[in-house]
Structure 1
Amino acid sequence: MNVKGIHHVSALTANAQENYRFYTEVIGMRLVKKTVNQDDTSVYHLFYGDEKGNPGTELTFFEIPMAAQAHQGVSSISSIGLRVKNDAALEFWKDRFDKLGVKHEGIQTRSGKKYLDFEDPEGQRLSFVSDEKNAGVKAGIPWDRSPVSQEKGATGLGPVRLTVRKPESTVRVLTEILGFKETDRKYPSSVEGQPDVRVFEAGEGGNGAEVHLEERTDLPPERMGRGAVHHVAFRVDDEAELKQWVSRINELQIPNSGFVDRFYFRSLYFREPNGILFELATDGPGFDTDESLDSLGESLALPPFFESKRKEIEAGLKPLDTKTK
């Protein structure tokens, strides 16, 4: 058993309304599910993705009102990649960010591909990565009602960067347990005196299946808060395979969540030795299980096991207008 690539990445926001505005109006992603954190139903869980939230396109946020600003450090998921069709799309985004006042760097080449690094209003670190020279895991299809054209829009998740102090223990989990393979495409650290960043890929490979591993000896542990990433999820086929993973992780005596039913997918959670939370998630059932494709994300969606508490849950949430204009 090997994972197929990145399923989703989940991060933290302190302001769901502003988060929704940025990721739909500025970045042009589709809100495919407005629901609640299943471990704390008093806060929102927002899922952004391509036209239907296909696996490998989902960037999600837990709203934690009043969350302090995250402090960057090791034992962290320190950057989230978003794929775009080609190099020309990066030029479009650079110009768009200039016009809209979004903090960004210049276009750079790393590991043979072009990147545009930027931050959201809460300091979340992201990168657009060009698929022009990419092969491997298939990209998604941007929503045709996005304010950004399908030619320039985000087509899915790209590489995620893990920043750790002791890389070899993380390498063992990636390669010996999850089935990643190290490539020969390492690239220099952005910090002088630090080791090169190593590139690993799963399944078919490519931008949708890459983990970049950064070793940093000059940083304290990350302090979680708004602008930080909570966990990264990797793709497995279905529930039957996930249950095999549960058995395997248990056999390895790795503390874990056991099988978890998230309704839209099934999950297993565990921490790798540097403390980063990994999830394995199934490709289905999907986000159109309880909503039509045309109206995804417009209303508060609750899994059946929370439906009896809808009135109580809705009463505890601040209204969030996500109706498509």
Structure 2
Amino acid sequence: MPAFHHISLLTKNHKQNVAFYTELLGMRFVKNTVNQENNRMLHYYYGDYTGSPGSVVTFFIVPHLGQRYDHNHFLATIGLNIPTNSLSYWQNRLENKGILVTRKKNQIFFDDPDHVGIILTEVAEAPLKPELQVKNDIPADKQILGLASTQLHVSDLAATTDFFKKYLDWNVIDSTITLSKTEHLELYQTNTTEKTRMGRGSIDHIAFAVKDDKALNDLYQKAQEQNWQIEEIISRGYFKSLYIREPGGNRLEFATMSPGFTLDEPLESLGESFALPPFLADKRAEIQANLYPID
């Protein structure tokens, strides 16, 4: 089971976003739906062929989104794993498309159109299984495997470190939480009291994978007992989620592994139509009529 489930960000330009993550990075557009907190806002999901937990990057589409200001607390960077012997392929592919790339050992660094830092890390892992491979121009043995890392920037590093230890029994060693042999979190102390302002390329939350409903409910009860800042526990249809603000103010989600994205459309045609989970299906006409206009 992966440690990460998905990562969710904000973008302004939906066409640019889709082109970058599907055409350039080769991820599948697995879900075109709405932000369930604001049904006027589109929510795009990208991942491997099935949109399996651990492979997914999502974006809320906000047409008039302003510049982001990362100050007292924020999440930063999307780390992605790529298979053995694929780093040079990716460097060449990106550079041939005019992307500025920095290479260091087994990693390459570059930015997406919203100036989100992307890190591709070559790991000693086999390519995606055939059933997870996306049908595109990227060779099967070079395709992105899934999420590798992100960064939490916090105003009180000790308090956030204590949260991860007490709540999840995760140790911070040299500013890093090792989640698996290919997944990790990096923690950084901020040095300003100026408030963060969300904008283009802001990361709304990072989500961690939870086995099932029982495990999620156990986490919910533990958060209550330890008095952490719980936002909500709720079904998203595709998975059930628990949202918590860690002491530094960053939003964390814990999401179940199932039922997955075939809940409301067939695997073969994921992302090809506007999808709504069953509990929103009867509001389809109203939701579609009130979506924020996009180009």
Q: Confirm or deny: 8 A CA contact 1:140 1:156 kept in the other structure.
A: no
Secondary structure (helix, strand or coil) at the match of 1:23 reads: helix
1:194 aligns with none
The answer as to 2:83 corresponding to 1:85 is: yes
1:14 aligns with 12
- C-alpha distance in 1 between matches for 2:19 and 2:72: 30
Q: 1:200: how far off?
A: 0.7
Q: Confirm or deny: 8 A CA contact 2:2 2:54 kept in the other structure.
A: no
- Residue among 189, 193, 203 paired with 1:229: 203
Secondary structure (helix, strand or coil) at the match of 1:151 reads: helix
2:279 aligns with 305
Distance 1:320 1:165, change over 3 A: closer
1:71 aligns with 69
1:46 aligns with 44
Q: 1:221: how far off?
A: 4.3
1:126 aligns with 118
2:151 aligns with 161
Q: What per-residue deviation string (whole Å, max 9, x for no partner) do you get for residues 200-222 of structure 1?
A: 123xx1223x1111224368543
How many residues get paired?
294
- C-alpha distance in 1 between matches for 2:266 and 2:87: 32
Which runs of structure 2 are paired with 1:146-157 in the superposition (5 Å)? 146-157=136-147
The answer as to 2:246 corresponding to 1:272 is: yes
The answer as to 2:91 corresponding to 1:94 is: yes
Q: What per-residue deviation string (whole Å, max 9, x for no partner) do you get for residues 31-50 of structure 1?
A: 11111000111111111111
2:225 aligns with 251
Q: Confirm or deny: 8 A CA contact 1:28 1:148 kept in the other structure.
A: yes
Distance 1:43 1:165, change over 3 A: same
1:293 aligns with 267
The amino acid of 1:246's aligned partner reads Y
Q: 1:161: how far off?
A: 1.2
Q: Confirm or deny: 8 A CA contact 1:54 1:140 kept in the other structure.
A: no
Q: Confirm or deny: 8 A CA contact 1:57 1:140 kept in the other structure.
A: no
Q: 1:140: how far off?
A: 6.9
Q: Confirm or deny: 8 A CA contact 2:34 2:276 kept in the other structure.
A: yes
- C-alpha distance in 2 between matches for 1:13 and 1:267: 22
Unaligned runs of 5+ in 1: 187-197
Q: CA RMSD in A?
A: 2.3
Q: What per-residue deviation string (whole Å, max 9, x for no partner) do you get for residues 212-254 of structure 1?
A: 1122436854321011100001111101111111111111122
The amino acid of 1:10's aligned partner reads S
Q: What per-residue deviation string (whole Å, max 9, x for no partner) do you get for residues 258-309 of structure 1?
A: 3201000000101011100011100111111221111011011101111111
The amino acid of 1:50's aligned partner reads D
Identity %: 34
Q: 1:115: how far off?
A: 1.6
The answer as to 2:258 corresponding to 1:261 is: no
Q: Confirm or deny: 8 A CA contact 1:35 1:301 kept in the other structure.
A: yes
1:176 aligns with 166
Secondary structure (helix, strand or coil) at the match of 2:204 reads: strand
Distance 1:176 1:239, change over 3 A: same
Secondary structure (helix, strand or coil) at the match of 2:261 reads: coil
- C-alpha distance in 2 between matches for 1:22 and 1:219: 34
The answer as to 2:203 corresponding to 1:206 is: no
1:281 aligns with 255
Q: 1:17: how far off?
A: 2.1
Q: Confirm or deny: 8 A CA contact 1:246 1:258 kept in the other structure.
A: no
Q: 1:255: how far off?
A: 2.5
Q: 1:4: how far off?
A: 5.8
Unaligned runs of 5+ in 2: none
- C-alpha distance in 1 between matches for 2:103 and 2:192: 26
Distance 1:170 1:51, change over 3 A: same
